[in-house]
Structure 1
Amino acid sequence: MTDRLSRAALVAVLAVLGFVVPAPAAVAATAATSCYGGAVTVHYGEVRDFGPYVTTSRCTDINMRMTGGDADFGWACVQFARAGGCNYWTKIGRSWTTIATDVLNGTKFTVPNGVDLEGSSATFQIAF
């Protein structure tokens, strides 16, 4: 018990002084398996549709962001295998953007790649 109090007091003093205290290994492991930690990287123009993918328990939504290329933004929708058509078109920039919400685990989907970019190249990440 005394060791825990000593560590807690030391961490508090260091935090007050502005030092960064690394997170415990358990917290770092959790972050690695988070929604964004399982993202896949895709390149615009390499395929007609990104996927197919199957949603996981890491995310309740399907998220996407642009990570490279000279485009300012792109457009994305989610095409669910059961529905056949796109849900709705969403503008995708450099920040994570939700392209489908409240998606059940085990749902098969693709992200069509048929819309022109506002630029000539782009790399995206999709988290699901």
Structure 2
Amino acid sequence: MNENIYVHKSSYLRVRRFFVLNKFEGAVNNNEYVRRVQRGYMAKSMEVEKFLNMIIETLSKEFEKEVKLEEMGEGQIRIVIDSYEVRTSMSYLEEIKSPYGIDRFILESLEKEGFIFDRNRSQYIQYCFGIYNGMK
């Protein structure tokens, strides 16, 4: 098994079977599909705090900027990148938790604050906004 894949063995076998069945048709890129499935399992199994920390780290790498996560008490948090901020509650993040739901919420909130980025800048950002293979 590939050491970069951290999903349950039976899940890996389903993904591998899907790829094998579709590889000759060029229907799916194995790495992209595995990443999306892996993200789904992480969203489902991780607690919201741990999942949010992973998202913050991913956003920091994506934009090559420090992204801060600050607890404000009573379940309220603040996410800061440059001079832009998003305020929300952990309970709301729990409600919208899905493979890319929290990421999308943060990115849309940052856009409303004036943070400018191209939604097609990377595969990660495209997945956050439901853009697959350049199509909405």
Please identify which structure carries the higher helix content.
2
Please identify which structure carries the higher strand content.
1
Same fold? TM cut 0.5: no
TM-score normalised over the length of structure 1? 0.28
Give the greater-gyration-radius structure (CA): 1
TM-score normalised over the length of structure 2? 0.27
Q: Which has the higher contact order (CA 8 A, sep 6+)?
A: 1
